């Protein structure tokens, strides 16, 4: 009996450290499977994060362009016309086209390197003082002068809109009515999407606008 105990103790003493210090093949396989799952989840997240980042960046660019147009109105007493070309030079009498970024002194492209687009109510591009601009806004608000620019059908009367074509690199309906991928003077009308319209497979434009009442409230 005594010799049996003597033999067992050293045997246990040898095996215990081996089991604590290493992994079995099953444990290793399990860890590798978990790692594989985590890595595939991470790889799937990267494009999603890049997409979201680009979307947020273009939203910020559009918002900054809107602020620059507001600044232009406060400084000059009128809104700029749209630009006929991507150089961004304001083109007199052009209601729809590219953002007049050169006139505003800001970049004219979004995070996808597409040009930004712009449309203005023409009645607000020919005033010559902030007082006159405010008076014209009041006329458009009361309807004594017919408004010339709308969002969400004709529900929202706006002073101007700024648009990024978004991820598909083309402006979508209702911003682009003739489906040529851009907002232009002919072929497109004065009705645009509601600001912040949800992104879908058919519509991924990023549009921001300033309403008549908001701009009226900002003027002295
Ligand atoms: Ca339209
Ligand atoms: Ca688009």
Question: How far, in Å, is the centroid of ligand 2 from the Cα of 124?
Answer: 27
Do 123 and 129 meet the contact criterion of CB atoms below 8 Å apart?
A: no
Residue 66: helix, strand or coil by DSSP?
helix
pLDDT, tens digit (0-9, with 9 covering 90-100), for 37-83: 888 888 888 888 999 999 999 999 999 999 999 999 999 999 999 99
Residues 6 or more apart in contact with residue 168 via CB below 8 angstroms: 204
Model's pTM, two decimal places? 0.83
* Ligand 2 centroid distance, CA of 215 (Å): 27
Question: Rounded to the nearest whole angstrom, what is the distance from the C-alpha of residue 206 to the centroid of ligand 1?
Answer: 14
Q: How many residues does the chain have?
A: 220
Q: Please give the Cα distance from 60 to 208 (Å, whole number).
A: 10
68 Cα: distance to centroid of ligand 1 (angstroms): 23
Give the angle 139-130-162 at the CA atoms, nearest 5°.
80
* 162-204 pLDDT tens trace: 999 999 999 999 999 999 999 999 999 999 999 999 999 999 9
Q: Find out whether 209 and 157 touch, Cβ atoms under 8 Å.
A: no
Distance 192 CA to ligand 1 centre (A): 5
- The closest ligand to the CA of 178 turns out to be 1
Q: How confident is the model at residue 17 (pLDDT cuts 50, 70, 90)?
A: low
Tokens for 151? 């969002």
Residues of the chain above pLDDT 90, percent: 80
Least confident of 10-19, 129-138, 145-154, 202-211: 10-19
Residue in 87, 150, 131 with CA at minimum distance from that of residue 219 = 131
């Amino acid at each position: 009996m005594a010799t049996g105990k003597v033999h067992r103790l050293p045997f246990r003493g040898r095996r215990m450290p081996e089991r604590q210090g290493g992994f079995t093949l099953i444990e290793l396989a399990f860890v590798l499977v978990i790692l594989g799952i985590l890595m595939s989840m991470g790889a799937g997240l990267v494009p999603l994060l890049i997409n979201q980042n680009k979307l947020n960046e273009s939203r910020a660019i559009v918002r900054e362009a809107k602020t620059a147009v507001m600044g232009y109105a406060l400084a000059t007493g009128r809104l700029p016309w749209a630009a006929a070309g991507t150089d961004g030079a304001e083109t007199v009498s052009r209601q729809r086209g590219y953002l007049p970024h050169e006139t505003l002194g800001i970049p004219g492209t979004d995070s996808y390197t597409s040009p930004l687009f712009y449309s203005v109510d023409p009645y607000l591009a020919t005033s010559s003082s902030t007082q006159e601009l405010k008076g014209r806004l009041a006329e458009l608000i009361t309807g004594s002068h017919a408004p010339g620019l709308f969002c969400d059908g004709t529900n929202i009367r706006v002073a101007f809109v700024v648009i990024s074509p978004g991820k598909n690199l083309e402006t979508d309906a209702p911003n682009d009515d003739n489906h040529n991928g851009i907002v232009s003077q002919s072929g497109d009308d004065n009705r645009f999407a509601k600001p912040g319209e949800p992104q879908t497979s058919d519509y991924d434009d990023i549009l921001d606008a300033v309403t008549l009442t908001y701009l009226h409230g900002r003027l002295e």
